[in-house]
Amino acid sequence: MAGQLIDGKATAKVIREEISQEITSLKEQIPTFKPNLAIIQVGTRPDSATYVRMKCKAAEEAGIIANFIHLEESITEHELYKHVVKLNEDPETHGIIVQLPLPSHINEDRITSAVLSSKDVDGFGPMNIGELNKKNGNPDFLPCTPKGVIELLKRFNVTIAGSKSVVVGRSDIVGSPVAELLKSLDSTVTITHSKTKDIPSYLKDADIVVVAIGRPEFVKGEWFKDNKKGCVVIDVGTNYVEDSTKKSGFKCVGDVEFNEALKYVKLITPVPGGVGPMTVAMLMQNTLIAAKRELANNGKLTNFEPLKLNLLKPVPADFEISRAQTPKEITQVALESGILPSEFEPYGSTKGKVSLDVLDRLQDRENGKYILVTGITPTPLGEGKSTTTVGLAQAFGAHLNKTVFANVRQPSMGPSFGIKGGAAGGGYSQVIPMDDFNLHVTGDIHAISIANNLLAAAIDTRMFHESTQKDGPLYKRLVPAKKGVRAFTPSMLRRLKKLGIDKTNPDDLTEEEITRFARLDIDPETITWRRVVDCNDRMLRGITIGEAPTERGFTRHTGFDISVASECMAILALTNSLADMRERLGKIVIGASKAGEPITCEDIGCAGAMTALLKDAIKPNIMQTLEGTPVFVHAGPFANISIGASSVLADKMALKLAGVEPTLTESLKKERVGYVITEAGFDFTMGGERFINIKCRSSGLVPDVVVIVATVRALKVHGGGAEVKAGAPLPAEYLTENVDMLRKGCANLAKHISNARQYNLPVIVAINKMSTDTAAEHQVIKEESLKAGAYDAIVSNHWEEGGLGAVDLANGIIEATQKTNNDDFQFLYKTEGQTVEERIETIAQEMYGAKDVEFLPEAQKKIELYTKQGFGNLPICIAKTQYSLSHDAKLKGVPTGFTFPIRDVRASIGAGYLYALAAEIQTIPGLPTHCGFMNIEVNDDGEIEGMF
C-alpha cells in the first residue's frame, strides 16, 4: 500500500482564502468590521520571531489585522500583565496570543491565564482547556493544533464517528485535547505514551493515529505493517535533527518515521507542510470567530445570563422574594452590560459604580430606545410605576433577549424608616438586594448631605467673620501668605472676574477692591440654603442656630430639609459631566447681599470642595433585578419640589450601552437596539412634565415612548370611589367589578394621555393587573385609552409573574418605537420670549386644567427679583400635591375651573430652574406613630429583617 499525503499547507491556504472571503462579505454589510489579532512577543528569540512572522503573514493573507507588540526582555511581569489587561478591554482587539516561551523571570501561567477566555484564540487558557475536558463543556475556542488535526481529517473525508483512534502522546497542549475532540465526535479513543508497553499492538486495528510525543521519528513505519486496512496518520511533531546535507546543518522531521510509514498507511501528513500550517490557519479562524462574536454581542464582553424565578402563589412579601433570590456577582452584571473592568468599581458583590469613561468610549454609538415610565394621578396605595419599570426590564432582558437597563432613583432612607416604604419595586419585579437598595447603596446621599452642609457651615462662618473683622485683617486672613507668597484660589479668581477686577496678584488690589472682594455682606433674611439630613426628623423643620457663647450672639432662624430635597441632589441628577457639575455647584445662589446682589457658592469659595466630595457620587451605581438584568440607581431628587427623576448621566450611559454602531445596516440596528426604561416621579403631569421640560432640556435627550401606568383601583378612586388609606381595608367597590365608576375615573387617565400627546410623543398605557380586576374592567381602560389618543393599552402582570407577565407590554413598546418617531417632538413652553408668569400659567392651564393662576405677593416679589438678577429665562418646576391634578389633594378626577395659587417662587440656579410653590409642601417629612424602623432587626447571620 502506498499512502497519500494530507497536504496541510494547501489546505491551510484554502482556509485562509475562505476566511478572507467571509471578512470581505461582512465588510460589505458592516464597513467597520475589522478582525484584529494582537501578538505579544517578549525578547528577541529567533525561533519566536520566526513563528510571529508566520502568523503575521497568515493574518495578512486572511484579511486579519495583526497588531504585533514587541516588548523588551527586561519588562517586568506586572508591566506585561497590564499590557494583556489593556488588550482584554480594547473592543477593537478580538484575539490575543502571547508568544511562548517567555523570559525566565516571568510566570507564563499568570500571563497566559490573564487573557480573557473570549479573546484566548490560542485556546490554551484555563477556562477553554477546562471546558474542553469537561463533559458537555463549552469552550470559547478550541486549541489551534488539535482543532487543525480535526479539520484535516474532515477535509480529507476521514470518517471519525465509530472509528478507532489511537493518540500517541498525552500532553496538555496536543495529546489530551485531541483525544477529547475525537471522543466528542464519537470515536473510540486510546491514549498511549512513551511509557506504554508494546505501542505497535495498539496500532493494528486503528483507523486514525495521531502522534504528538515530541521525539523525532519515535513511531516506526513498520509498526503500521500489521494494519491491513490501512490507517490515517496525523504527525504533529516538529523536531530538528542534524543533517550535514542541509545548509543550516539541520532538517525538520516529525514524530513518525515518514518514508517507511508511507508504505503502509492510507493517508499521512508530511513534516513540514502538514499540521503546522493548519495550526496557524486555525488561529486565524478563531480570530474571525472572536470578531463575529463581538459583533453579535454588540460590544459586550460576555453573554447575558438570566436568573430564574421561582414563582409562588400567593405572592410572598417583598423582602422574602428578595432574600430567596441569589444575585449574580455584580462584576458579571457589569460585563454582561458591556462595561469594561477598568470602568467598574465594585462595592461588595451586589453593587458598584461605573466610570464616566464609558461615555467617552462609546460616544460614536447611536443611542438605544428611551422609554419613560410615569403614571396617572396617584393614590396613597401607589400605582406601581417602579414595579412596572423593573418588570419591563426583566421582560426585555430575560424573556425577549434584548439589551436593557432600568434606570431608577436612589431612594431616601427617610421613607424607608417612616411609613412609605422602599422604592425597589415589588412582588416578582424588584431591584435586589432590596435592603441594600433602600438603605445606603454606595453612599451617594451621604455625600450629598455633607457637601450641602459644608456650604451651610461656610455661609454662617463667613457671616460671622465678616461681622467681627475689619476689611484689612479679613482680606489678609482670606488670602494668607504661604512661605511668603500670597495667591488667589481658583474660586477667588472667578469671584474677581465676576466683580470685573482684572488682577491676579493679591497685593495689587486697591482698598476699594479689597472691600468689594472680601465682603459678601450677606443679608441673613435672604438666605435660602438650609442644612439637610436623610431622616424624617420633623423637629428640625425650624431651628435657631448660633446659641453657643462662642458665636457672640450671632443667632439665626433656619431649618433642615431632607437630603434629597437639596439642590445638590438636583444638580447631581441634571449634570452632564464632572466639569458641568463643578460649574453648576458654583452657580448655586444661597441668598443676596444687602444691596440685592445674588451671592453664590462660588463667591463663598466652596464649589471646588463640594465637587471633591461628590466626585465619586457622580458615577452611576449599578445593581440588578430579580431576573439578573442591570439597573442603574443614581440620584434621587425629591419629587414634590424637584424633578423626581434619576440622573441624566445614568440615562446617557445606559443609552450608549444599549445602543448600536452607526455603521450597521438598518435591519441589524432594528434587531440589536436595546432599551432604557426610566421612571419619572408621581404622574405624567408632575414627573413627566418636569422630566421633559427640565431634564430633557438639560440632557438633549427625548423619550421614544411614554408609558403611563394605571390601575383599576386608582381609576375607581378618581371615578368617585371612597377614600383609600395605606394599611386600611379596601372598601367594597375596589374589590368587585364596577365598570361605571371605572369609566368615569378614566377621565383622569385621558387627561394624562392628552398631556403627553401635547409633546407629540406616543403613549402606551400599562394596565397594572391586580387580583381583583376583571377582564371587562381591563377592556374599559383600553377603550378609553385609545379614545384619548394612546397608541395602545396593554395588561401587565409583572407583580405576580415577573418579566414573563410584562412580555406583552414590552412587545407593544417595541412595536411603538418601530412604527412611531419623535421627529415632531416639542417642549410645552419656551424659555426665551416668555415671562416667568407666562411659563407658570402655561403649565397650570395646559397640564393641570386651571382656569387662572394667582400670584401671591411673595411670589410676585421673588419673580421680579430673579428676573432682575438675570434668572428669568429658566425652566419652571412647580411644587404641589401629587394626589390631584390641581393644588388641592381632595379634588380627584379631572378638576376644572379652579384658580391655581402660587404662594412663593424659589431659585435653584445651579440645577438650572426656578421652582414655584403652589401649596404647603414639607421639605422634611415627619415620622408616623408606628415607624418603619420599629420592624427592622439584624439576625445572627447579619441579614436585615423586617423591611417592608
Q: Is 90 a catalytic residue?
A: no
Asked if residue 378 has a cis previous peptide bond (ω within 30° of 0), the answer is no
For residue 63, the 8-state DSSP code is T
Q: Answer for the pair 689, 646: CB distance below 8 angstroms, yes or no.
A: no
Task: Look up residue 480 and give its three cell numbers.
Answer: 494668607
Single-letter residue type at 836: V
Give the whole-angstrom CA distance, residue 801 versus residue 819: 28
Q: Answer for the pair 765, 749: CB distance below 8 angstroms, yes or no.
A: yes
Give the whole-angstrom CA distance, residue 692 versus residue 167: 69
- Selecting among 7, 41, 120, 122, the annotated active-site residue is 122
CA 786 remoteness from chain centre:
34
Q: Answer for the pair 145, 168: CB distance below 8 angstroms, yes or no.
A: no
> Which residue matches cell numbers 486549541?
143
Q: Is 120 a catalytic residue?
A: no
Contact partners, residue 810, CB within 8 Å, separation at least 6: 392, 395, 396, 399, 400, 402, 675
**Host H or E run for residue 88:** helix 77-89
3-state secondary structure 807-835: HHHHHHHHHHHHHCCCCCCCCCCCCCCCC
* Cβ atoms within 10 Å of 361's Cβ, excluding its own: 18
In order of 199, 430, 508, the CA distances from 223 in angstroms are 8, 68, 100
> Which residue matches cell numbers 508591566?
79
- Selecting among 7, 55, 369, 695, the annotated active-site residue is 55
- Selecting among 7, 41, 99, 435, the annotated active-site residue is 99
Contact partners, residue 346, CB within 8 Å, separation at least 6: 330, 331, 334, 352
Give CA angle at 382 (378, 386), nearest 5°: 105
What DSSP string runs through 204-230? TT-SEEEE---STT-B-GGGGTT-TT-
Query: What is the b/e burial string over 221-234, where b = at least 16 CB atoms within 10 angstroms of the residue's CB?
Result: bebbbebeeebbbb
Give the whole-angstrom CA distance, residue 531 versus residue 537: 12
Give the whole-angstrom CA distance, residue 398 versus residue 589: 46
**Host H or E run for residue 127:** helix 126-132
What DSSP string runs through 338-395? T--GGGEEESSSS-EEE-THHHHHTTTSBP-EEEEEEESS--TT---HHHHHHHHHHI
Angle between helices 567-574 and 444-468 (to 10 degrees): 130
Give the whole-angstrom CA distance, residue 370 versus residue 656: 11
> Which residues on neighbouring strands pair with residue 370, listed in sequence order?
676
Q: Is 855 helix (H, G, I), strand (E, B) or coil?
A: strand
Give the whole-angstrom CA distance, residue 388 versus residue 423: 12
H helix count then E strand count, the chain: 35, 38
> Which residues on neighbouring strands pair with residue 902, listed in sequence order?
855
Task: Look up residue 145 and give its three cell numbers.
Answer: 493544533
Residues in the chain: 948
Sign of the CA dihedral with 708 first, then 712, 717, and 719 last: positive
Pick from 646, 653, 584: nearest CA to 614: 584
Catalytic residue positions, numbered: 55, 99, 122
